[in-house]
């Protein structure tokens, strides 16, 4: 099932999401999240973006031909905890399915260590760097109630205010179904 994607301005994107009970059957939900993400041509999707305030996100960079480092990067992160981040911060232009048609440079630390479960409740603890780390950081922010635009300067944020308002009203072009909080 493909869910509509929740747009900027919805309170669910600002909540700190809750852990999922260990052992709960989430296979259908995880499958739906992959389906929703692929339909929107995203490389990451967090549960709050489909209206569920739970600590779960999926990533899939395997279809990005210009990012060979991501060719095996398809993973489900359940109840993840970033244990530490380090390395030289680097900037990259990010986008978000909940903030369509806006891309801005965000600086993030190069490396991280994360523990998480997969969709079958197998535990992992791994290190990531570069683009994989960035995708994880962006999605992890979602379950913490944070968005990439939070990192922008006050000036940049002011400049985007009109566009963000339009997004909240559903006044934005997307190839996927959206749920806009201020749509009349």
- Count CB-CB contacts under 10 A for residue 131: 16
What mask, x for binding Ni ion by CB under 5 A, covers residues 110 to 149? ----------------------------------------
Beta bridge partners of 179: 6
Q: Is 104 a catalytic residue?
A: no
**Among 56, 96, 133, 164, which residue interacts with Ni ion (rule: CB under 5 A)?**
96
Per the listing, tokens 């944070």 go with 146
Torsion angle (degrees, nearest 10) of CA 85, 26, 19, 141: 40
**Closest distance of CB 16 from Ni ion, Å:** 16
Instruction: Using the rule CB under 5 A, give the single segment among 4-12, 81-89, 95-103, 106-114 that binds Ni ion.
Output: 95-103
Distance CA 56, CA 71 (A): 21
Select which of 126, 139, 144, 175 is catalytic: 139
**Closest distance of CB 42 from Ni ion, Å:** 8
Q: Where is 88: in which H helix or E strand?
A: none
Q: Is 167 in the site for Ni ion (CB under 5 A)?
A: no
Q: Is 45 in the site for Ni ion (CB under 5 A)?
A: no
Cβ-based nearer residue to Ni ion, 40 or 96 = 96
Q: Is 56 in the site for Ni ion (CB under 5 A)?
A: no
Beta bridge partners of 18: 54
Instruction: Please answer whether residues 85 and 134 qualify as being in contact, where contact means their C-beta atoms are separated by less than 8 angstroms.
Output: no
Distance CA 13, CA 46 (A): 10
- What residues make contact with Ni ion under the rule CB under 5 A? 96
Catalytic residues, by residue number, are 139
């Amino acid at each position: 099932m493909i869910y509509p994607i929740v747009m900027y301005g919805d309170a669910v994107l600002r909540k700190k999401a809750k852990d999922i009970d260990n052992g709960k059957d989430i296979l259908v939900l995880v499958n739906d999240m992959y389906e929703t993400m692929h339909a929107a041509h995203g490389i990451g999707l967090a549960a709050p973006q489909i209206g569920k305030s739970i600590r779960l996100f999926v990533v899939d960079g395997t279809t990005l031909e210009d990012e060979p480092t991501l060719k095996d990067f398809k993973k489900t992160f359940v109840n993840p905890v970033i244990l530490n981040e380090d390395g030289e911060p680097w900037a990259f232009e990010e986008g978000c399915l909940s903030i369509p048609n806006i891309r801005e440079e965000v600086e993030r630390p190069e490396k991280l260590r994360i523990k998480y479960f997969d969709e079958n409740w197998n535990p992992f603890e791994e290190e990531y760097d570069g683009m994989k780390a960035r995708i994880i950081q962006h999605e992890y922010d979602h379950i913490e109630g944070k968005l990439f635009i939070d990192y922008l300067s006050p000036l940049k944020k002011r400049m985007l205010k009109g566009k963000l308002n339009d997004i909240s009203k559903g006044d934005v072009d997307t190839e996927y179904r959206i749920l806009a909080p201020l749509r009349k």
